[in-house]
A and B are shown apart, each in its own frame.
Chain A
C-alpha cells in the first residue's frame, strides 16, 4: 500500500531516470533531476528544523516550481503555492493566515516580497537546490510520516473577501490520482500540455499523473492562450497527446476556426471541465478530432481535484447539456433536497460528496469548515462527514448526473471559481463606495459591477486591480445614482440582471 505521494516519484526514477518529467519552452528536467533537486530542498528544510510546517512556494510557473513542491514534501512539510498573478493584498492575507517559516522563491518574487516587507525566511530556489542530500534525515522524516499528513494548502475565493485555504492530505491525492490516471488511460507515452495554474488543485492532474506513470508534462506559456494558432503549433511541436484544460482554453481554438487550418495532430485525450462547454464549440472539436476521447470532469477543490467524470459517447445537440456523469471510483455522490432527503428521480438536489477524497477543510478556519463539511444527514449512527458543494444537480434519463446551477453567488469565469461576494466585499471596503452589486452576465461571460459612490470608473478599476486577482476584476463597471432595492430592502439582483440582458439585446 502506498502512503506518500513521493513514492510515485521514487518508483519512476528507478525505471526512467533520464526521461523528461517536466518542461516548458525554455528548460526540461528529467525524473532523476526532479528527484535529486527535490531531495536537496527537503534536506535544506530539515537542516533548518522546518518540519510539519506550511512552506510557501512563490516562483514563476516553471518545472522548478513543481520540484520545489516535492522538496517541501521531502522535508516533511506541506506546500502553499503563491503566484505573481495574485495581487499583493491577497498574498498578504495568505501569508498572514499561514505564517510560513520558509518561503521558497526566485529572484523576482524575492524582490516583490522584500518590497512588501517580508524580508525574513526567504530562500532562493537556486541557492538551496545545491544542498548536499542527507539520506538519513530524509529517511527518518519518511518513517514518521502518515498518509493523513497534509500535502498542500491551496487558496480559493471566499465570499467574505478572505480567501479560503483548502488543506488536502496524501491519502486523498493518491485516491484521486489512482482513479484519474485510469480514466485518462495514462502511461509513459502520455504527453500532457499543461494550461492550468500551479496554484490551484487543477494542476494535480499533470503534476502527479506524470510521476505516477512516467509521463511528461509540458507547461504551455500563458501568452499562447491568446494566440490560438501558436497554441496549436506548440501542441504539435511537442507532440502533446493529452490535455486537461478549462473550457475557455479549448474554445479559443475552435471559435476562431483554427481547427479548419491546423489540427492538433497528436492529441487523443481531451479532458475539460470547470465550465459548461457550449455545444456548438464542442462539436467543432469533435468534427476536427473524431477519434479522440472527450471527457468532462467535475469536482470542487474541497474534494481533491475532480469527483465525477463523463466520457462523451453520443451526439449532443445545441440545447443539450454534457453531463458530469458518475463519481470516480471510491467516491460517492449524494443529492440532498432542502429537507436533507434524497429527491425523486430527475428532481434537483444539492450535490454532496462522501469519501476518502474529502479534504480536511479550510486552514485556520474551523467555523467556515464546519458549515460545509458536515455530518451525513442520512447517517444517524456514527460520525461521517460529507462535503456540501453548493452545486445543484439532477440525474438525467440515462442515470447520469447533470450540473444545473449554484445555490449561491459563486460563479465559474474563464475556469476560475469566484465568489461574487468576495468582489463586492473588496469594493465595499473602499471609503468612496456607498454600495455595490456584482452580477455575472452568462451570455457575455462577463463579471459586471454596479456601484453607487464618489469615485469614477477609471479610479475604481485601478484600485480593484490592486486588491483582486486579475481574473476577478469586473469586466464591466457601471456607476448608478441609486442602487435598486427589493421591497424587503435587499439588493435587487433580478432587476440588475434584467438591465444587462436588455443591454445585450440592443447590440
Chain B
C-alpha cells in the first residue's frame, strides 16, 4: 500500500489519498493520470491491469486500487 500511495502522491502531491473515496467522480484523476498509474503499477508491482478492469470503481480510491492489485497478483 505504501508503494501505491507514493505513486499517487507523485501525481497529485496535494491530495490525501488515504481518505479520498471519489478520485474519479470528483475528477481528481484524469486520463493522463490513469495511463501513468497503470504503467507505474506494472513496473512496481509487476501487475498488468487488463482493459476490463480499467473501470471507475477500481480507481475511485487508493484502497480500491490496492484491492485490484492484490486480486490480480494472486494469479
Contacts and interface: CB of A to CB of B under 8 A. Distances in A.
B31 A256 contact: no
Contacts of B31: 225-226, 248-249, 252, 414
B35 A458 contact: no
Q: How large is the interface on B (under 10, 10 to 19, 20 to 34, 35 or more residues)?
A: 20 to 34
Interface in A221-261: 223, 225-230, 248-249, 252, 255-258, 261
B49 to A, nearest CB: 8
Interface in B14-58: 14, 24, 27, 29-32, 34-36, 38, 43, 49-52, 54-56
Nearest to B29: A226
Nearest to B52: A229
Given A223-B24, A225-B31, A475-B32, A462 B14 contact: yes
Interface in A169-227: 223, 225-227
B54 A458 contact: no
Task: Summarize A's interface: helix, strand, loop or mixed.
Answer: helix
A286 interface: no
B36 A475 contact: yes
Contact of B52 (A248, A249, A261): A261
Interface residues of A, number: 28
Given A414-B32, A461-B14, A226 B24 contact: yes
A255 B38 CA distance: 11
Given A223-B24, A465-B14, A256 B38 contact: yes
B38 A226 contact: no
B31 to A, nearest CB: 4
A229 B35 contact: no
B19 to A, nearest CB: 16
Given A226-B34, A475-B32, A507-B43, A257 B51 contact: yes
Interface of B: 10-14, 24, 27, 29-32, 34-36, 38, 43, 49-52, 54-56, 59
26 contacts: A223-B56, A226-B24, A226-B30, A226-B34, A226-B56, A227-B34, A229-B55, A230-B55, A248-B35, A249-B31, A252-B31, A252-B35, A256-B49, A256-B50, A258-B51, A261-B51, A261-B52, A414-B31, A461-B13, A462-B13, A462-B14, A475-B11, A475-B32, A475-B36, A476-B10, A477-B13
